[in-house]
Structure 1
């Protein structure tokens, strides 16, 4: 995944309003500092990882009727000998330990790294996922105490760039998985997909909803998403011939902050990110006419050899 991302989220600007009983005055309190919540969230996630396991043995030697669902349990009683999510790697199982990536979140002028954790029970055999893709997913969202706050038993399509401005942890974490194999049509018209990616994403609250309370999700709640990634579609949102993942110009893992249009100060300037803009440099020549497609691959021209591809260079016509 190796993606460093800066997430400007609305929750930082939220306020909590309460009323005093004596005079009904409104008391406004700002959200708790991001750095303070980060410490609490990280401690809560580490405690969960050290005291919980998942059904790794089922995935290692699946029974004929195994439903390939992730199940988490507490290491106690009859399960006292289970291997925790922190320590399971190296005990003969292929991939049963949580891994992490840093995701940068801004607070004022400071960028603070937050760890996004993911568990790959089965990677999948299909297409690799990027932050720009459309994904066909089943999932269940739950809190660390096991409370389920959302669930889709039937698959749903998610356009990942949309999620980066919401639950960034989901959009970033799912890139650790691949889709399934080619689907086959059953006699009843349903489609069967096998060998898809299965796992879970664990995120601190700043990569989720942070201070914004949601239904069954209190403010500052770390979250878990169990996922089945069935299919991945590479996208070209603006149909300019360049796959959207290649329009992350600064390479930070987000598409919504990349805009290379030339700016005319005398005209109103509308921010349209490159992946949604069919004329990336604003020179009135469509991007599709400033690139070449060779054997199905995009080739970026640099006609004036200035190191800037033609489709990003308004000086090149």
Structure 2
């Protein structure tokens, strides 16, 4: 395995060998995406799962857990075809932390491209159709990870209530 200096030296060599400006931009974009990815140890993921399980037990709620660690409850699956990765969705939503603090709220429906959403939303939305209602609990690896947002602390477990109005 390469150490960090060797990795950067390899990247610099590859960078210098790229003749075209467009190709350099593409490679830079890929590098930035890879660097910004957050990875968690198995122990950290297990700890997030335990926190979610304690929350669910305390609140006497029943959710299904996906292989990736998304907890979801489909209140209404909607009608028509399932949402796909390349679709845009018209949704309203409310996001909160495990302690109940609301951190994100959009009462008026707004359009989003599914492919541009956080992983947990992508996963949850592609399980349902137009006019669906669903609840998601996202561990940090499926939410914002170690990126701090204005109202969302680093490594937060997030609870979302989503209402899908339309898809395109």
Instruction: Give the TM-score category using the shorter length.
Output: 0.7 to 0.9
The TM-score with structure 1 as length reference comes to: 0.40
Higher RCO by CA contacts (8 Å cutoff, separation 6 or greater): 2
Structure richer in helix, relative to its length: 2
Residue 229 of structure 1: SS of its match in structure 2?
strand
Q: Say whether 1:37 aligns with 2:44.
A: yes
Residue 230 of structure 1: SS of its match in structure 2?
strand
Q: Say whether 1:126 aligns with 2:80.
A: yes
Q: 1:194-233 alignment to 2 at 5 Å?
A: 196-233=131-168
The Cα of 1:100 is off from its aligned counterpart by 2.3
Aligned to 2:126: 175
The Cα of 1:40 is off from its aligned counterpart by 1.6
The Cα of 1:222 is off from its aligned counterpart by 0.8
Residue 71 of structure 2: SS of its match in structure 1?
strand
**Are 1:34 and 1:206, in contact at CA under 8 Å, matched by a contact in 2?**
no
**Structure 1 CA distance, aligned partners of 2:101 and 2:75?**
22
**Structure 2 CA distance, aligned partners of 1:101 and 1:130?**
18
Matched residue pairs, number? 136
Cα RMSD over matched residues?
Answer: 1.9
Unaligned runs of 5+ in 1: 1-6, 13-30, 53-83, 87-97, 104-114, 180-195, 234-317
Runs of 4+ in 1 over 6 A off after TM superposition: none
Q: Say whether 1:46 aligns with 2:11.
A: no
**Structure 2 CA distance, aligned partners of 1:208 and 1:10?**
13
Residue 126 of structure 1: SS of its match in structure 2?
strand
**Are 1:37 and 1:220, in contact at CA under 8 Å, matched by a contact in 2?**
no
Decide which structure has the larger Cα Rg and report it.
Answer: 1
Unaligned runs of 5+ in 2: 1-32
The TM-score with structure 2 as length reference comes to: 0.74
The Cα of 1:135 is off from its aligned counterpart by 0.7
**Structure 2 CA distance, aligned partners of 1:224 and 1:11?**
21
Residue 144 of structure 2: SS of its match in structure 1?
coil
**Structure 2 CA distance, aligned partners of 1:122 and 1:207?**
22
